[in-house]
Amino acid sequence: MPASRRTLDRRTLLTAAASTTALAALPRPLRAGTRSRVLVLGAGLSGLHAALTLQEAGLDVRVIEGRDRVGGRVLSHRNVPGNPESGATSFAPGYARLISACAAYGVGLVDLTPIFPFFLQRDLYLGTERVPLSAWPTHPHNPFPEPLKKLPPWAFLGAVVGPKNPLATNDAWLDPAHAALDVSLHDWLKGLGWSDEMIHIAYDIGPGTGDSARNVSALMTLGSMKFQQVQMELARGKAMSYTAVGGNQAIPEAMAKALKNPVELGRKVVAIGADGQGVEVHCEGGQRYRADHVVCSIPTTVLRTIRIEPALPATQAKAVRELGVQTISLAHLATKRPFWEDDGGAASFTSDGALALVTAERKGSDPKQVTSLTAWLRGAHAARFDRMPEAEARAGIVREIERLRPAAKGQLEVLAWQSWKNDPFALGDWAVWEPGQVTAFAGVVGKAHGRLHFCGEHTAVSNRGMEGAMESGERAALEVLQSA
C-alpha cells in the first residue's frame, strides 16, 4: 500500500478525542524477553487500525491477541450459509475509515440495498399472538397516539425523537452543555409525556442498548440516533449498507495480513507494568513483552481483570470497573423448509418474549431466498440463556420459535451460537453508558496513562460500532506519535 494512501490527517485524528481504562496493581516490572517500539493489545478493528497507522508512520509494531483468531467482536460464521454475523452486522457508506480499509487491503463489498426492503417485513408477537403490521394500527395493545399508531414499534422512537434530537452533531453527546440529558432514557421519555406502555413497546421489548430504557443514558441514546441519522443522510443516492465479501471478519483478517510482524495469537494479558523507560506486558502463558509504548484495545469488562501498575487515576479506574456493557447472544439457524409459507406469517419477527428479533438472512445471489435465520436475545433474556449449558440454550431457542410458530416444529437446526457475555475475551458486547456515566466517565475512560494508550469503540467520540473502533485506533496512534 503506498505511503501516501495512509498519510495521517492530524485534524481527523484529533477529532477522535478519548477514552478506555484499567485497574489495579502489578508487583514490580518484569524483565521481558521480547522488545518492540509499540505493542498493541488486541487484534480487533481498533487495535489493528492503530497498529497499521503506526507501522505506516515507520514505527516497529507488534500485535498480540488472546483469542485464536483476529477480529475481536467482529465474528462471521462461515459454517452457516451466507456467512451471517454475530458481531458487527453491516456498515453504511459513511463508515469512511472502514470502507477505506476495505479498498486498501483488497476486501470486496456486498451491497445490501436489494435485501433492505425484506428486513422491514416482519410481524410482531405479543405473547403467542401474531400481529401483522397491517393489523397493528388498530390493535388494542397499540399505545401510540394518533396519527402515529401506524408506525411499527421498532420505528417509533427514531421517527418521533429523531427529528427533534437536541444534539446537533455526532460529538455533541460529550458537550457539557447537554449534561442534563445524562439521565435514564425512561425518565427522559416520561418527561416528554410518554406512557410506560409506550416506552415498553417502543424500546424495552427489543432494547437497542442496555436491558431496558431504565438503565441506559438518554444522552448516549440521542448520540447514537444522531450518528445513525448522519449515516442515513450520507447514504442518499448510494447503497443503504454493506457487508464484506466472505463476511465482515474478512476486514480484520486482511488488515492483520498487512502487518510486517504477524499477530501473535493465544496471548492472554494478565498484567501491565510501566516505568520511565517503557511498558511491560505479562501474559498468562508466561510470555513477556516490553515496548516503548503500549496501545490497549481490550474492552473494559476484561481490562478490569488485568493488574496495572502504576494504578490508573481513581476516576479512570472507576470507569473501567463500572462502565456498562451490552448483554446479547445470537443463534444462527438453518431451516429445512420455509415454514413461514405454511403459517402465513413473515419470515422475520419481533416478540415481547425471549426473542427480541428473528431475522431472515438473505445472503445468497437471490435476495428473495432465505439463507438462514438469526435469533437475537438481549438484556435479561440473553442473560437467562447465557446461564444455561450451550446445548440447552440452543434447544431453548428452537423451542421458543416453535412455541410462537408451530409450523416451525422439526424444521430448525442451530448451526452457530454466540454468547458475548460468556466470551472470556469480551464479557459482553458494545459499551452501554448508563445514566450519569457519560458525564462521569467519558472524559477519562480513554485517557492515556503515561506510555499506556487506550482505544476501542467505547472510547470513540464521533462514531459508533466498527467506524467508532477505527476512529479510536487513529486517536491512540496519534497519541503515540506525538509522544514518541
Whether 51 and 295 have beta carbons less than 8 Å apart is answered as yes
250 vs 261: CA distance, rounded Å: 19
CATH topology of domain 138-145+152-234: Guanine Nucleotide Dissociation Inhibitor; domain 1 (1.10.405)
pLDDT tens by residue, 215-224: 999 999 999 9
Location of each CATH 1.10.405 domain in the chain: 138-145+152-234
Helix (H, G, I), strand (E, B) or coil at 149: helix
Helix (H, G, I), strand (E, B) or coil at 223: helix
Q: Of 425, 272, 267, 405, give the one whose Cα is nearest residue 344.
A: 405
94 vs 164: CA distance, rounded Å: 22
Whether 278 and 243 have beta carbons less than 8 Å apart is answered as no
Location of each CATH 3.50.50.60 domain in the chain: 3-73+247-322+434-483
Q: Which helix (H) or strand (E) holds 335?
A: strand 328-335
Q: How many residues does the chain have?
A: 484
> Has this prediction a pTM greater than 0.85?
yes
46 vs 425: CA distance, rounded Å: 15
184 bridge partner residues:
217
77 vs 427: CA distance, rounded Å: 19
Helix (H, G, I), strand (E, B) or coil at 146: coil
Q: What was the pLDDT predicted at 33?
A: 58
Query: Angle of helix 379-386 relative to helix 390-404, nearest 10 degrees?
Result: 130
Mean pLDDT by 10 residues, the chain (484 residues): 34 33 29 73 98 97 98 97 94 95 98 91 96 96 95 94 94 97 98 97 93 97 95 84 96 98 98 93 97 98 98 98 96 97 96 96 94 96 97 98 98 98 97 98 96 97 97 98 87
**Other C-beta atoms lying within 10 Å of the C-beta of residue 384:** 15
Who contacts 305 (Cβ-Cβ below 8 Å, separation ≥6)?
23
Return the C-alpha cell found at 45: 478493528
Q: What was the pLDDT predicted at 120?
A: 86
Return the C-alpha cell found at 224: 447514537
Q: Are strands 122-126 and 348-351 parallel, antiparallel or unpaired?
A: parallel
Q: What was the pLDDT predicted at 277?
A: 87
Q: What was the pLDDT predicted at 29?
A: 34
pLDDT tens by residue, 351-398: 999 999 999 999 999 999 999 999 999 999 999 999 999 999 999 999
CATH 3.50.50.60 for domain 3-73+247-322+434-483, yes or no, is yes
* Exposure string for 391-426, b = 16+ CB within 10 A, e = fewer: eebbebbbebbbbbbebbeebbebbbbbbbbbbebb
**DSSP letter string over 160-173?**
HHGGG-S--STTGG
Cα pseudo-dihedral 233, 238, 243, 244, rounded to 10: -130
